[in-house]
Amino acid sequence: MADIRSYIKEKRKREENQASYKEKIMRHKLTSLYRILLILACAAALAVLIVVQYRRHVYTDYSIVSSVERKESSGGAVDVRLGSSILTYSKDGAHCTDAKGEVTWNQTYQIQDIKLDISGNTAAIGDYNGRNIYIQNDSQQLGSVTTTMPLRDLTVSASGRVTAVLADTDVAWVNTYSPNGDLLYHGQAHMSGAGYPAAVSLSPNGEILCIAYVYVDAGVMKTNVAFYNFGDVGENYLDYIVSSWSYTDQLIPMVRFMNNNTCFAVGDGRLIIFRGSQKPEPALEQLFDEEVQSVFYNENYIGLVFRSDQNEYLYRLDVFDASAEKVGSYYFDIEYTDIFFSKNNFVVYNEKECVIMTFDKIEKFHGTFAKTVRLMLPASGTYRYTLVTEDSIDTIQLK
């Protein structure tokens, strides 16, 4: 009997020791887990602090990272963004230059009244009332189009397709061409019928054409916004028209594709954003009773500039995104020659001054340039930009 009691006692002791050992292991694991969680929490808090500090950091100056000489442009030449390159054009010709100052192509012509359209890194240059259109992107010349009637308007896609509005006796022809000049699609517009094409725009892939037709019905001005689909879907519709929308007592002089899924129209008192890659439909109609001063856009954002309703500022910028949502209203107090958008901010500038503001309404930079700036464009890197002046191309880093 004593042996049994001793055995039971030893067994209980071993079990207690095992339980104690397991408890110690569990406590050790929990302690290690708590330490890891504490370290992760501290790291997360530090990361949040860094992000917050970064987002709230204000730049007061800039340094020139690199600079290359630039051949002085001829009188009357204009510089515009073409992708990440610089398109310089005048009545005598055009050429494209990259940020390193290398000329990628040069086109000579004689044009009295220039019609220019850009989609991404592709441009079309035509002569109002002339018959020639030149098509090029940021790396090469793609081709040219010779029309049989005088040119009134044009639009180009990123793929190189061009749609031209041509004047006939009592008809406007709307023709779409390939980059090498082949006629792909054509149609007519009568003032007494569909109206006159006041604005045209091609989607970046060249498959959807938007036209704003202006006409008078019973003494009332109206605009009809029509979408043509040149792809497989459009073949099932009369004259390729897949959708159209009429607006009474409304002049719409501007329609533009932001991307293959989003197009917008700006009229006197209204912004309309259309969504859809095959049959675009209105996703937003924003009404306003103020005069739009300017319109700026890229593939992600639209910006409408109004005179400021606050005394301490000159202008207000209302920004909408490609999802047809309003991002916000932003005030700035400098005259502007251009505005462009980046992922989380926008840049307002003129020849001497610049304001950079985030969509969270944090003014990241407000300063002056050392030289007269003809064009400003984003460069690779955070808060790094390219400044085009009369005699140089400078890459700057804010600091």
Whether 211 shows a pLDDT value over 50: the answer reads yes
Partner residues linked to 132 by β-bridges: 146
Q: Which of 123-127, 190-194, 300-304, 377-381 has the lowest mean pLDDT?
A: 190-194
Question: 142: pLDDT confidence band, cut at 50, 70 and 90?
Answer: very high
Residue 33 belongs to a domain: yes
The verdict on residue 190 lying in a domain is no
Q: Which of 282, 281, 341, 332 is nearest to 308 (CA)?
A: 332
Q: What order do you get walking across the sheet with 301-307 strand by strand?
A: 294-297, 301-307, 315-321, 326-332
Q: Is residue 333 part of a domain?
A: yes
Residue 221's CB is within 10 A of a number of other CB atoms, namely 15
Q: Assess contact for 201 and 210: CB atoms under 8 A.
A: yes
Amino acid 5: pLDDT: 62
Q: What confidence category does residue 275 fall into, taking pLDDT thresholds of 50, 70 and 90?
A: very high
Helices (H), strands (E): how many in the chain? 1, 32
- pLDDT of 110 higher than 70: yes
Residue 255 falls inside a structural domain: no
What integer is the mean pLDDT of 6-27? 62
- Sheet with strand 208-217: strands edge to edge: 196-202, 208-217, 220-229, 241-248
Helix (H) or strand (E) holding 39: helix 2-56
For the record, the structure tokens of 289 come out as: 């009773």
Instruction: Give the C-alpha separation, 127 to 153, whole Å.
Output: 9
Task: Tell me the two tokens of residue 221.
Answer: 């001005």
What would the mean pLDDT of 345-351 be, rounded to a whole number? 98
Task: Specify if 9 maps to a domain.
Answer: yes
Residue 161 per-residue DSSP state:
-
In a domain, 80, yes or no: no
188: pLDDT strictly greater than 90: no
Compute the distance between CA of residue 323 and CA of residue 284 in angstroms, rounded to an integer. 9
Q: Are 378 and 363 in contact (CB under 8 A)?
A: no
Tokens in use for 129? 């009332």
* 14: containing domain: 1-56
Is residue 282 included in any domain, yes or no?
no
Q: Please, what's the largest Cα pairwise distance for the chain?
A: 125
pLDDT digit string (tens) for 95-104? 999 989 999 9
Q: What are phi and psi of 156, to 5 degrees?
A: -125, 150
pLDDT at position 49: 46
Q: CB–CB of 395/65 below 8 Å?
A: yes
Please state the length of the chain. 399
pLDDT at 229 over 50: yes
Domains in the chain, number: 2
Specify if 124 maps to a domain. no
